[in-house]
Structure 1
């Protein structure tokens, strides 16, 4: 997804060249249900009135805060990369579609576990991106968290609040206003599911806030500590939500349309911090345009694994092809004074296994 510098954000009166470019992009992109995720594809060339899929409230926020839209665009690329990392060894691998407003295609039209994860991690990504931009001084509307003052205590003793705490509360507040705006316009099972998973994503980022401290005193002793709260690496949020995907709970709408009921009547827990879904997922084994499945034909698999990346699971029992390829790696590395590491290029042959395509029934070849 292309992006420009933050200073390149256009106002509501962009140059004729950029306007023409975006207009052509919108005209020739296949029509489908759209979402704010497409901001990541437009990057700095944000034209709020022409971003497909924005509801009025989202468009108003875009117009008032174009610098925040740039941060959201950068964050979109980050959470999509995280999604693809988490599912790199699965049949559904969080594939994105170029020149498609929906980014993920028809797979998001189904109220499945995969949709639950995408909504949660995208909401988390907005919180992370906005909070980080606030702390780095990139936005006019927010800065560090100024509310943490005075003394506090942890398991290491007393400390003074100082430094620059990440303003997670502002990130959550803006993400809720922007991301949830579309879902709050309707009251059906899918909208309620999305709102629930959006909240889980936002809270996941806050869950991993960590205390960072600086020591003061003679020779670096910790006679006095100054501490602040900082977000953890986004990978921790991705790992957490990936586990929540594994344990996601199937739900149905209650009779009065005000909430969820767990489909499993024997379920005794709470859905508050769990991802929820309404429809079962397809198996993603075969190409199915209606379901948004790209199939697994040609996907690389691990012959020796019995997990989701193993050839038996990944290839859905169709078998796999093996090809010998040359691999070049760095080897015999030595430290050279001062200060470099010199390595040789070593070549070896390895087997790469890829899933076989689906075999057509014999009777189709007779017609």
Structure 2
């Protein structure tokens, strides 16, 4: 299956997830006019000229100029992961030109908005943490706090990913636009909750990697360190949270305003769950006003009963079928030494697309 053709995220587009997202980064139109700034943010004056940042984000940018390239990378991997996770859904995370890169539906408190906030927040934390471990940032490095013998009998050593720094940076930079608006609105509370859920998806899936030391490859001594999961794992976790997201509403508890399940039948959500305020549209019809592409022209799976199947993907409108010739490598054989030789096989396949 191939998804609806979504535009490849250019760097300037990736940088501008706009104020509609918690990841309020860099104004794409400004960067588009300044090609020299697309590849790197290196000076304080650049931070001041970047529209779309809150005052708090400008200050963070100025204090941590070296980290801004990692923030850009975090935006890129967030969009890439979103498009991977939703490639077979009616809403496939297609990016659009303009201020709202995912369409206005992301500003309306939907499940999709919840996922975008979470994966964006996680993307920044992940990219900044990785830059720390690679020695690319002066203000952070490996996490050296974990030391000594573990209960399992191995020695903590090596270069553990400094996720505490990456998470703290994400909390400071990504959450800044929401906190500047105060904590009174339901949408702000929703965004902050989902931002944190994205970061928790990394924290709760940290792995332990080890190396054996000893004579002739024995494992007399084992040293271990903590590493982040692949970002694909983070995306998988957040996709599961998306499918099980809780619809919430605001309620005043004492002097605080909190989000609670809208229905008493729903169990209370945890800090790792995604929450949303309004149901999603069906994404069936083209709606330029709200940035919805619709599913006309999308490829579908004729034999599937899931959302990628033609009945659901095409919203009951039916589908067209065409036959096309596909050329693939086949009958591959290893030749000594050292190459693989394949034949080219041609066969006809049926491609189904929504009307």
- TM-score w.r.t. the length of structure 2 is 0.87
- 1:152 matches 2:150: yes
Aligned to 2:168: 173
- 1:191 matches 2:188: yes
CA–CA distance in structure 2, aligned partners of residues 337 and 344 of structure 1: 17
**In 2, are the aligned partners of 1:249 and 1:277 still within 8 Å (CA)?**
yes
Q: 1:134 aligns with which of 127, 132, 135?
A: 132
Deviations 1:97-146 (A, max 9, x none): 13x23321212121000000000011111111011000000111100001
**In 2, are the aligned partners of 1:38 and 1:101 still within 8 Å (CA)?**
no
Please state how far the C-alpha of 1:269 moved relative to its aligned partner: 3.5
**In 2, are the aligned partners of 1:111 and 1:278 still within 8 Å (CA)?**
yes
Q: Give the alignment of 1:172-321 within 5 angstroms.
A: 172-186=167-181, 187-255=184-252, 258-321=257-320
SS of 2:76's partner is helix
Please state how far the C-alpha of 1:61 moved relative to its aligned partner: 1.1
Please state how far the C-alpha of 1:78 moved relative to its aligned partner: 1.1
CA–CA distance in structure 1, aligned partners of residues 301 and 164 of structure 2: 43
Please state how far the C-alpha of 1:293 moved relative to its aligned partner: 1.4
Deviations 1:311-333 (A, max 9, x none): 00000000001111111111010
**In 2, are the aligned partners of 1:127 and 1:202 still within 8 Å (CA)?**
yes
**In 1, are the aligned partners of 2:300 and 2:353 still within 8 Å (CA)?**
yes
Q: 1:36 to 1:278 in 2, by over 3 A?
A: closer
CA–CA distance in structure 1, aligned partners of residues 94 and 27 of structure 2: 15
Q: 1:90 to 1:40 in 2, by over 3 A?
A: farther
Q: 1:252 to 1:124 in 2, by over 3 A?
A: same
CA–CA distance in structure 1, aligned partners of residues 88 and 102 of structure 2: 18
CA–CA distance in structure 1, aligned partners of residues 85 and 121 of structure 2: 16
Aligned to 1:72: 71
Please state how far the C-alpha of 1:50 moved relative to its aligned partner: 3.2
Aligned to 2:118: 120
- 1:109 matches 2:107: yes
Aligned to 1:325: 324
Q: Which has the higher Rg, Structure 1 or Structure 2? A: 1
CA–CA distance in structure 2, aligned partners of residues 237 and 278 of structure 1: 23
**In 2, are the aligned partners of 1:189 and 1:252 still within 8 Å (CA)?**
yes
Deviations 1:173-229 (A, max 9, x none): 110000000001223111100000000000111111101000001111111001000
CA–CA distance in structure 2, aligned partners of residues 263 and 286 of structure 1: 28
Q: Which runs of no fewer than 5 residues in structure 2 stay unpaired?
A: 1-8, 32-37
SS of 1:165's partner is coil
SS of 2:151's partner is strand
**In 2, are the aligned partners of 1:149 and 1:162 still within 8 Å (CA)?**
yes
Q: CA RMSD in A?
A: 2.1
Please state how far the C-alpha of 1:272 moved relative to its aligned partner: 2.6
Aligned to 1:13: none
Q: Give the alignment of 1:88-103 within 5 angstroms.
A: 88-98=87-97, 100-103=98-101
- TM-score w.r.t. the length of structure 1 is 0.85
Aligned to 2:341: 342
Q: 1:32 to 1:321 in 2, by over 3 A?
A: farther
Aligned to 1:351: 350
Q: 1:45 to 1:229 in 2, by over 3 A?
A: closer
SS of 1:284's partner is coil
**In 2, are the aligned partners of 1:40 and 1:72 still within 8 Å (CA)?**
no
Deviations 1:290-314 (A, max 9, x none): 3331100000101111111100000
